[in-house]
Amino acid sequence: MEEDTGPKFTTSFLKKEVPKSDQAKELLNWCYVLAKYNEGTSGNLSFRTENGCIITGTGTDLGKATIYDLVEVTGFNEEKKEIQAKGIKEPSSEAFLHLKIYQKIGKINAVFHGHTLDIPNVPVTDKEYPYGTLELADSVADLAEKTNFLIAKNHGFFSLGRTMDDAGKQIINKIN
């Protein structure tokens, strides 16, 4: 399941500029690492900020990501299906899924997602939902309350961590 077909929500840009954060470089480094472990170079990575999270933009090739691919997501209106963001690119179609996890689980500060499915002994969500839907976001966020590493059925894995290092190393351990 690819996410390159574009987001299923509208984005309201509060500011059309690259988000500033000291941690952006760390996120980009994990993008490059995961491009090697992940199946293909699609997926999305984020870390918590004061206002929401900074996440890779839609259709980002993780192996070639730059600062211009990063977007800060500061809010989501479920009724209007509208994301508030600061950045140049549209945020990943799973941006509000990431946001949901941060809102629900206070100790999680990094969420990394890729599309490798062949990982043994990992909890899997009960039902398959299309990417970018509220149902997918809810099913992942619910299971994420019980485990830091999970698979969204027939879609891909989500690795959650207190730090980016935790989320990233967890993937390397599970996939190797």
Identify the bridge partners of residue 12 per DSSP, sorted by sequence position.
84
- Determine, following the binding rule CB under 5 A, whether residue 156 of this chain makes contact with Zn ion: yes
Report d(CA 150, CA 2) in Å as an integer: 18
Report d(CA 156, CA 124) in Å as an integer: 10
CB of 125 to Zn ion, least distance (A): 13
Among 15-23, 31-39, 95-103, 152-160, the segment contacting Zn ion (CB under 5 A): 152-160
Q: Which residue has the tokens 């170079």?
A: 41
* 2 sits in which H/E element: none
CB of 48 to Zn ion, least distance (A): 19
Site for Zn ion (CB under 5 A): how many residues? 1
- Determine, following the binding rule CB under 5 A, whether residue 87 of this chain makes contact with Zn ion: no
Q: Which residue has the tokens 């809010």?
A: 75
- Decide the pairing of beta strands 110-114 and 156-161: antiparallel
- Determine, following the binding rule CB under 5 A, whether residue 114 of this chain makes contact with Zn ion: no
Cβ closer to Zn ion: 47 or 112?
Answer: 112
Among 15-23, 80-88, 140-148, 150-158, the segment contacting Zn ion (CB under 5 A): 150-158
Give contact residues for Zn ion (rule: CB under 5 A).
156
